[in-house]
């Protein structure tokens, strides 16, 4: 036991050169002082045994009574612990790891966590500390030790496990290989799109933002859009419909250009007729944030005619948002009208899978996903909210025929955006003063800043989610029925002239009440009248 006393002295003072130095006790903690003196005393019979030393130091206030020793002892005895005890331990462990020495966490605690997950009943509770310690590992070791645990958890049928994984996805998605994401993880994640629990559906939608850069053509452009079309059109939760629109706008840069042209406008314009005001506002935001992907002809013939009814929306925030969005599109058209040479630069990103860095930085800054449980909308009116009367048919999206012969390398290259995720997902604080200035100068500001608006906060709480607001009938009037569904991806892109818009208004659809919408005849009449004026003057001249 005298040797144990010498070990304590060397632990705090360094190597012991002479026996007389044992009397120098300035560096020894006060909690060990009594035990140390007994161990190094001249009376060998009065020295305590090891078990007594440990028991005294493990008592309340003892030197060994701390989080590190408690955690190590619990992990050694974890197989004998109850399931409830394990859950409480792992929930507390994640907050304690930062205070532990790095070597202890990586070489002592991490192996115990992996063993507890593989052979025990730790389940998803082990995930937070496991991912936190995984950041200390090299990438190769992370792939070998942590990724298999993550893949195994994704295959779990436990709803709490899947929800916890989706919430922690941003912490480990960068360590996942694209092949692992497409083959092992995405098929399990996709189950959450149709889950009966709204929280699981919401987290599944938001997870696509992190997974999109790693998804292959079929999973992203076919499977994800098929689920998004169903959720946006028929989900009973207004917040989930809103989040679907928001996330579709966020992944637009990763979609194939041909798919993007066919889907985005129809999806976002359909969202402008949602009875839930935040869903209409999110659709306006999505149109503005993806403005670089639309041909100017589409802006004039499809987008602006659909946005004008929102200027008389029952909700003031939607009306204000509509005016700002319309001014933004009109500003682009006006600049091209003054200088037709700008058309090529403004449409540069329409047919490219990778947006220009300047456009990406400007359009993505400040846009945060609005959570279903977030208070992204505060209404001052007590107008009762009605259920969504719209029901769109389930549309299966297939790869365009023109892309069937494309090589896999070309598809992979075209669907992967090089824009930094840090740039694209930057979130800015709401600038209410800036918004007020924009509102006060709406009549004179022709160059509206697309990023000046507040896109919402993921952590805010909603006033109501399960109910939806009564929509203003004017928001549905004069909107072309060509936008009531997401366009079929089997069709070839067609010219966006006035005749094309008129043809689309005659298309037959299911799930919509024809009496609620009016055709765009009056818009076409104005355009045709303006276009025929020169010929009439020519006839008069003749």
- Measured CA to CA, the distance from residue 7 to residue 440 in angstroms comes to 75
Three-state DSSP state, 427:
coil
Residue-level pLDDT at 122: 66
- Measured CA to CA, the distance from residue 18 to residue 40 in angstroms comes to 14
Tens-digit pLDDT profile for residues 441-486: 333 333 333 333 333 333 333 333 333 333 443 333 333 333 444 5
pTM, two decimals, is: 0.60
Residue-level pLDDT at 299: 93
Which residue stretches of 40-82 are H helix?
Answer: 50-58, 67-76
Residue-level pLDDT at 459: 35
Tens-digit pLDDT profile for residues 359-394: 443 333 333 333 333 333 333 333 333 334 333 333
Residue-level pLDDT at 217: 93
Which residue stretches of 122-197 are H helix?
Answer: 127-134, 139-145, 147-154, 159-167, 169-172, 178-180, 186-189
Q: Which residues contact 538 (CB under 8 A, 6 or more apart)?
A: none
Closest CA to 166 of 182, 147, 185: 185
Residue-level pLDDT at 356: 42
Q: Which residues of the chain carry a pLDDT beneath 50?
A: 355-485, 487-542
Residue-level pLDDT at 452: 37
- Measured CA to CA, the distance from residue 409 to residue 162 in angstroms comes to 32
């Amino acid at each position: 036991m005298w040797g144990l006393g010498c070990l304590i002295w060397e632990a705090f003072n360094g190597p012991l050169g002479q026996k007389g130095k044992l009397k120098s006790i300035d560096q020894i903690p006060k909690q060990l002082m009594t035990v140390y003196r007994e161990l190094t005393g001249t009376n060998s019979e009065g020295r305590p045994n090891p078990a007594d030393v440990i028991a005294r130091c493990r008592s309340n206030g003892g030197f060994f009574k701390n989080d590190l020793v408690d955690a190590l002892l619990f992990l050694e005895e974890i197989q004998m612990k109850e399931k409830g005890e394990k859950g409480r331990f792992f929930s507390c462990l994640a907050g304690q790891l930062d205070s532990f020495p790095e070597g202890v966490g990586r070489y002592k605690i991490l192996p115990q966590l992996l063993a507890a997950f593989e052979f025990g009943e730790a389940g998803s509770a082990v995930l937070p500390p496991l991912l936190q310690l995984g950041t200390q590992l090299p990438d190769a070791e992370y792939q070998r030790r942590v990724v298999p645990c993550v893949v195994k958890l994704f295959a779990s049928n436990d709803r709490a496990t899947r929800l916890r994984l989706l919430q922690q996805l941003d912490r480990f998605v960068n360590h996942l290989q694209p092949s692992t994401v497409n083959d092992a993880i995405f098929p399990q994640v996709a189950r959450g799109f149709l889950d009966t629990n709204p929280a699981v559906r919401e987290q599944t939608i938001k997870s696509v933002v992190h997974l999109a850069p790693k998804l292959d053509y079929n999973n992203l452009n076919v499977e994800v859009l098929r689920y998004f079309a169903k959720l946006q059109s028929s989900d009973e939760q207004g917040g989930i419909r809103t989040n679907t629109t928001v996330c579709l706008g966020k992944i637009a840069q990763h979609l194939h250009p041909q798919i993007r042209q066919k889907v985005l406008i129809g999806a976002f314009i359909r969202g402008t007729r949602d009875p839930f005001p935040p869903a209409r506002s999110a659709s306006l935001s999505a149109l503005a944030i993806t403005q670089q992907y639309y041909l100017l002809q589409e802006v004039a013939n499809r987008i602006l005619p659909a946005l004008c009814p929102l200027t008389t929306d029952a909700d003031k925030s939607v009306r204000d948002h509509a005016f700002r969005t319309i001014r933004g599109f009109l500003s682009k058209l006006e600049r091209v009208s003054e200088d037709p040479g700008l058309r090529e630069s403004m449409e540069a990103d329409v047919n490219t899978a990778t947006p220009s860095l300047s456009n990406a930085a400007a359009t993505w800054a400040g846009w945060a996903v609005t959570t279903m449980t977030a208070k992204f909308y505060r209404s001052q009116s007590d107008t009762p909210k009605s259920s969504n009367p719209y029901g769109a048919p389930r549309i299966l999206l297939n790869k365009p025929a023109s892309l069937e012969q494309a090589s896999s390398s070309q598809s992979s290259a075209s669907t992967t955006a090089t824009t930094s995720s840090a740039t694209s997902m930057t979130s800015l604080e709401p600038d209410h003063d800036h918004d007020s200035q924009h509102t006060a100068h709406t009549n004179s500001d022709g160059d509206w800043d697309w990023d000046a608006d507040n896109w919402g906060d993921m952590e805010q709480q909603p006033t109501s989610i399960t109910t939806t607001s009564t929509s203003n009938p004017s928001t549905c009037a004069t909107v072309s029925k060509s936008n009531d569904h997401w366009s079929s991806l089997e069709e070839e892109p067609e010219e966006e002239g006035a005749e094309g818009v008129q043809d689309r208004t005659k298309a037959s659809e299911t799930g919509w009440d024809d009496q609620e919408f009016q055709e765009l005849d009056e818009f076409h009449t104005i355009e045709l009248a303006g276009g025929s004026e020169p010929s009439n003057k020519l006839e008069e001249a003749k």
